[in-house]
Amino acid sequence: MKDTLQFQQETTAANPIAYQHMARPGISKQLIEEISHYKSEPTWMLAQRLRGFSIFQKKQSPQWGGNLQDIDFDSIRYYLRPTDKRATNWDDVPADIRDTYEKIGIPEAEQKHIAGVMAQYDSEAVYHSLRERLQKQGVIFEDMDTGLKQYPELVQQYFGTVVPAGDNKFSALNTAAWSGGSFVYIPKGVQVDIPLQAYFRINAERVGQFERTLIIADEGSFVHYVEGCTAPIYTADSLHSAVVEIVVKKGARVRYTTVQNWSKNVYNLVTKRAFVYEDATMEWVDGNLGSKLTMKYPSVYLLGRGAKGDILSIAFAGTGQHQDAGAKAVHGAPDTTSSIVSKSISKESGRTSYRGLVSVPKGMTGCKSSVVCDALLLDEYSRSDTYPTMDIREAQTSVSHEASVGKIGEEQLFYFMSRGIKEREARSMIVQGFIEPIAKELPLEYVLELNRLIQLEMEGSVG
Amino acid sequence: MSLSVLNLRVAVEGKQILHGVSLNVAAKTVHAVMGPNGSGKSTFANAISGHPRYSITDGSVTVDGSEVASLSPDERARAGLFLSFQNPVEVAGVPVRQFLRTAYNALRRTQVDPIVFSAQLKKEMERMQFDPSFANRSLNDGFSGGERKRLEMLQLALLQPKYAILDETDSGLDVDAIKNIAHTITRAKDQGIGVLLITHYSRILRFVIPDVVHILIKGKIVQSGDASLAQQIEEHGYESFQPSNNT
């Protein structure tokens, strides 16, 4: 951690440019050039950024999903230097977020860290022992900026190949303005036995608006990457637009777990995609609790025979929130398997949408896909929609789709209450039961926090 | 000390089902309420327990002297009432163990040590010949009819209410299963629990001898008597019991 800070100070000192544009809102070619220069990036990366910017300018925002009209791209600050972030004042963090931290029992030091106020995380000892273990195995686990500096060829080989800049307006914006995120490489046959957590990364700049993550799992390897935190993450900026690219090579397996709980002023527009090769497995476990609007559809492109993709997602939409989440499975090789399980909960004016695509082109024989999406409405004001698209062009395919929308039943509540359990506790147990098939896939501390947060949300005392 | 129901009138969706039912179940006694289909047996059980769809339009329900008819179902349970459901509902993702512990704590207004609780649950399950894995299954999720009824009886034994209302717990079960249930009911009675056994058939009453039998027809108790009344029904059916006009 020290190394990075020193490095940052040195680069600041060594680049006597006036960065007046970098702190200002709005994005321009000049800003992008300055970011790239400030980071001392290779020219190919600058070219990528500029190409991304030109696509961003030309492309329309998606006309489907949530309401994106209120995003004012000119008022967003696209780059904050680490020094800017450290200057953030704890008193500026909204009271409701601080309250939530208190309620879910996060210590103050950690609260500040999560809110992005503190630059340092108090676990250097844990972090160092972890690093040594990983290094011995040849695992690369860096923040993306460091990854680019230290492994430029590897980054260049894969960057933008899974999610090209032109994929959508927000992937273009991310390509232009990215900063932070993780770079992970797992060598052939290496099984990483503990989950890699983003906050163990060397860079203190943990919460980025335009994170860019690239994970390469070489043949026969395994890694579980865990991103995010269930505590609400406060950001003054209203747009979070990340890109996650994953390459799962022959026989490898990657699990990527996210639980996002952005503050409720944030547009969370994320493109996540994995290329999955022969006999490899990709598992997305995706939880969406926070944000004003989330549009996120983790995808698997099954590109080799026997490839497998599992996507599990939970969404909770409270007052004023719209979680437009789902999944995408493209069967690009025969004998590939995908499974999508989506569970959503809406409360009050909250809205959840499942949006999914399963595609089996002609000739891709022997593919199997199963989609299950269940929605739970907590009251009569909440809303849930399902937009499943099945594009099946091959007859020798087995596809199943089940969808259900339910309310917490009177009979279920009465059953619990007839055993002395209060209504509030009964409701929260039933909701926890509803998401259990996915919650059990999360690391234990996440499940505990998730359950507590859902309890808080259902009491209506937060938010 | 009794569960006392006085002149209970109950409507469901505006339709009057019970027209003034009275009975008094003392601790450590078994009352059977028998009646044909549609006589209001389940309405009786649900109304006493506080199901929101059954509205008590008149009369009173008291537990050891305290009025409970205006209380919510959980408050009634904490006052000492227990309902064994005719069709226990499925709740996916909530393990039996967690449900039972939560109920146990709620009824005792305490937080029992999970290890102590598990030991007690294990003992009770062994006594009732449950497979240990049963506690980890989701509540009634994928359970057979028999398993559901047995789980209700496990709850009766574990939660130790003051008064238990058993809504056709014997229905749809074979003789061996009925014997098991009867055994649990008898044990509950011996422990001091007052039991209100609601049933269509007299079969179970061969294994649990009731102190009092009530015949419920068209929302009224038409006759009360001792166990021989059940015998009479077995022989002659409900035909011979007609609602009288002066009850």
Alpha helices by DSSP H, listed for A235-382, are none
Residue A99 has pLDDT above 80, yes or no: no
Match 């305290």 to its residue by tokens: B66
Note whether A419 contacts B98, CB cutoff 8 Å.
no
Q: Count of domains in chain A?
A: 2
- pLDDT band of residue A202 (cuts 50, 70, 90) is very low
Tell which of A269, A296, A323 closes a domain.
A296
Residue A121 has pLDDT above 50, yes or no: no
Q: Which residues of B touch A448 (CB under 8 A)?
A: none
Report the pLDDT averaged over residues A205-213: 69
Question: Quick check: is A352 in a domain?
Answer: no
The three state secondary structure string of A195-242 is CEEHHHCCCCCCCCCCCEEEEEECCCCEEEEEEECCCCECCCCCEECC
Question: Quick check: is A46 in a domain?
Answer: yes
Cα nearest neighbour of A408 on chain B = B91
Residue with more model confidence, A168 or A203: A168
Shared domain check, A425 and A292: no
Mean pLDDT of chain A: 83
Q: Please list the residues that pair with B194 across neighbouring strands.
A: B163
Question: Quick check: is A255 in a domain?
Answer: yes
- Cα distances (Å, whole numbers) of residue B160 to B66, B80, B190: 19, 8, 12
Residue B109 has pLDDT above 80, yes or no: yes
Mutate to test the interface with A, among B42, B87, B102 (most CBs of A within 10 A): B102
Residue with more model confidence, A451 or B45: B45
Report the pLDDT averaged over residues B115-140: 94
Residue A114 has pLDDT above 80, yes or no: no
**Domain chopping of chain B, boundaries:** 1-86+146-212+235-241, 89-142
Q: Are A209 and A178 in contact (CB under 8 A)?
A: no
Side-chain-facing half-sphere of B170: CA atoms under 13 Å: 26
Of A420, A423, A437, the CB nearest to B93: A437
Note whether A434 contacts B92, CB cutoff 8 Å.
yes
Tens digits of per-residue pLDDT, B37-91? Answer: 999 999 999 999 999 999 999 999 999 999 999 999 999 999 999 999 999 999 9
Note whether B88 contacts A415, CB cutoff 8 Å.
yes
- pLDDT band of residue A451 (cuts 50, 70, 90) is confident
Q: How far is B111 from chain A (nearest CA, A)?
A: 13
- pLDDT band of residue A220 (cuts 50, 70, 90) is very high
Shared domain check, A426 and A283: no
- Cα distances (Å, whole numbers) of residue B106 to A252, B111, B139: 48, 8, 17
pTM given for the model: 0.81
Shared domain check, A431 and A284: no
Distance CA B239, CA B21 (A): 20
3-state SS assignment for residue A405? strand
- pLDDT band of residue A104 (cuts 50, 70, 90) is low
Q: Which helix (H) or strand (E) holds A332?
A: none
Alpha helices by DSSP H, listed for chain B, are 41-49, 73-79, 96-108, 114-127, 145-159, 175-190, 228-236
Q: Which residues of B touch A416 (CB under 8 A)?
A: 74, 91, 99, 103
- pLDDT band of residue A120 (cuts 50, 70, 90) is very low
Size of interface A-B (CB pairs under 8 A): 84
Task: Domain of residue A129: give its range.
Answer: 2-296
Q: What is the pLDDT of residue B51?
A: 97
Q: What is the pLDDT of residue A10?
A: 35
CATH number given to B1-86+146-212+235-241: 3.40.50.300
Q: What is the pLDDT of residue A181?
A: 85
Distance CA A16, CA A110 (A): 34
Tens digits of per-residue pLDDT, A351-384? Answer: 999 999 999 999 999 999 999 999 999 888 888 9
Q: Which residues of B touch A432 (CB under 8 A)?
A: 93-94
Q: Which residues of B touch A433 (CB under 8 A)?
A: 91-94, 138-139
Mean pLDDT of chain B: 94
For residue A133, give the amino acid letter. Answer: R
Q: Which residues of A touch B92 (CB under 8 A)?
A: 433-434, 436
Residue A462 CB: number of other CB atoms within 10 A?
18
Shared domain check, A433 and A284: no
Crossing angle of helices A423-439 and A444-459, rounded to 10°: 140
Q: Which helix (H) or strand (E) holds B174?
A: none
Q: Are strands A337-346 and A308-317 parallel, antiparallel or unpaired?
A: parallel
Q: Please list the residues that pair with A140 across neighbouring strands.
A: A185
Note whether A429 contacts B98, CB cutoff 8 Å.
yes
